[in-house]
Structure 1
């Protein structure tokens, strides 16, 4: 059976990382049977990044590559009816979600105001995690943020980037249905991966407040959540 390897769950969301949750949602929406293995150590993953899948002995990493593999190997029909313009817009949305990822991650590991609550939530839900592991992860992420650039921003400046991304996304999500019609696609799963990790996050960050101000984003998130929960 296909196995998805991704980060642990948090606050009722199947993966506390947007990319892993995206793949989880694609698998659920497509009705493909799979095992979900939660791990923290990504050192043995392709490119040392989560998520990845093992499908009939083949290891595939990177969420976009995984979705393409699933479509090719298993005939996923989620995106079958999309026009080229839909796929192009979905590609642009995915790149914007890459930017949103850094702000979301910053709000958890970098911002001193919210780090203690995040750390304690992880320890409550996953008591096998030690303080040493979490501190090592925080220090590792601090280096990533510095070299990527978001770590050189003051918190209000960082959140302004994410809130701007959410505002643009809110202009693209319809008031009913999904991105490209009445049925969700892999691009809706990608959006859900990030929105759910902000909307259901039980710590009130500026990023969560920014999402909550857009009723259509909340509706979209909760609609996908109901389909994959």
Structure 2
């Protein structure tokens, strides 16, 4: 049996990581028999990140590499799409994973209201006496990385403007069909859906969470994704 090594459930989601949720959606959609195994410390994993898929032969890191492996086993995530639609799908995936994702990270790790909740969610394996200083050091490292990436250098209004342009693009697709490129989920939905769900689920009232919760089109899309491929 395949085993998905994933961050635990949090904030009402399969996992706090949208990449782990994406991989669970792909596994479920593929028809493979699989199980989850939760972990909080991925330092011994390939790439020192999650998700990782344990197969009978090896460990496969990274959601894109896992997708490639599943496709080699016969999974079809973009069945019925034209070549142009598959190219659009690739662009939507990259927009979600290489841009929207970093706004989610900053909304959680950079928000003093959210941070205490994250600390008690993600760092329970650290003894209580040293949890605060140890987790604060990790937080500092994450925020330094977000600054190096670039998103952390923008003001809140500048960040929200950048997010808004992406959300408007996503909405343009959703006005045309139930899911981004078809009437059933495809690979783009398995990336974009978890990102929007993660934005909505951040455990505080932030401009980003409000933006999703108050948008009927995006809010209902997230709900449809959860219903279309149940993984809870």
Normalising by structure 1, what TM-score?
Answer: 0.88
> Could you report, residue by residue, the CA deviation over 1:92-125 in whole angstroms, capped at 9, with x for unpaired residues?
11111120000000000012243234435x27xx
Residue pair 1:2, 1:55 contacting (<8 A) in 2 also: yes
The offset of 1:127, in angstroms, is: 4.5
Which secondary structure state, in structure 1, belongs to the residue aligned with residue 173 of structure 2? coil
Normalising by structure 2, what TM-score?
Answer: 0.87
Residue pair 1:107, 1:115 contacting (<8 A) in 2 also: no
Residue pair 1:114, 1:205 contacting (<8 A) in 2 also: no
When the two chains are superposed, the root-mean-square deviation of aligned CA atoms in Å is 2.1
Residue pair 2:117, 2:203 contacting (<8 A) in 1 also: no
Q: Which residue of 2 aligns with 1:72?
A: 72
2:143 matches 1:148: no
For 2:163 and 2:225, the matched residues in 1 are separated by 21
> Could you report, residue by residue, the CA deviation over 1:185-205 in whole angstroms, capped at 9, with x for unpaired residues?
122111121111122334211
Aligned 1:201-216 pairs, distance under 5 A = 201-216=202-217
Q: Which residue of 1 aligns with 2:6?
A: 6
For 1:15 and 1:210, the matched residues in 2 are separated by 21
The runs of at least 4 aligned residues of structure 1 exceeding 6 Å deviation read none
> Could you report, residue by residue, the CA deviation over 1:172-216 in whole angstroms, capped at 9, with x for unpaired residues?
223652222222112211112111112233421111122234322
Distance 1:199 1:206, change over 3 A: same
Q: Which residue of 2 aligns with 1:177?
A: 178
For 1:46 and 1:161, the matched residues in 2 are separated by 32
Residue pair 1:3, 1:35 contacting (<8 A) in 2 also: yes
For 1:62 and 1:2, the matched residues in 2 are separated by 15
Q: Which residue of 1 aligns with 2:95?
A: 96
Distance 1:63 1:221, change over 3 A: same
Higher mean alpha-carbon deviation, 186-195 vs 196-205, is at 196-205
Which secondary structure state, in structure 1, belongs to the residue aligned with residue 185 of structure 2? coil
The offset of 1:225, in angstroms, is: 0.9
Q: Which runs of no fewer than 5 residues in structure 2 stay unpaired? A: none
Residue pair 2:151, 2:159 contacting (<8 A) in 1 also: yes
Q: Which residue of 2 aligns with 1:29?
A: 29
For 1:18 and 1:110, the matched residues in 2 are separated by 18
Q: Which residue of 1 aligns with 2:16?
A: 16
For 2:114 and 2:161, the matched residues in 1 are separated by 17
Q: Which runs of no fewer than 5 residues in structure 1 stay unpaired? A: none
For 2:190 and 2:63, the matched residues in 1 are separated by 11
Q: Which residue of 2 aligns with 1:189?
A: 190
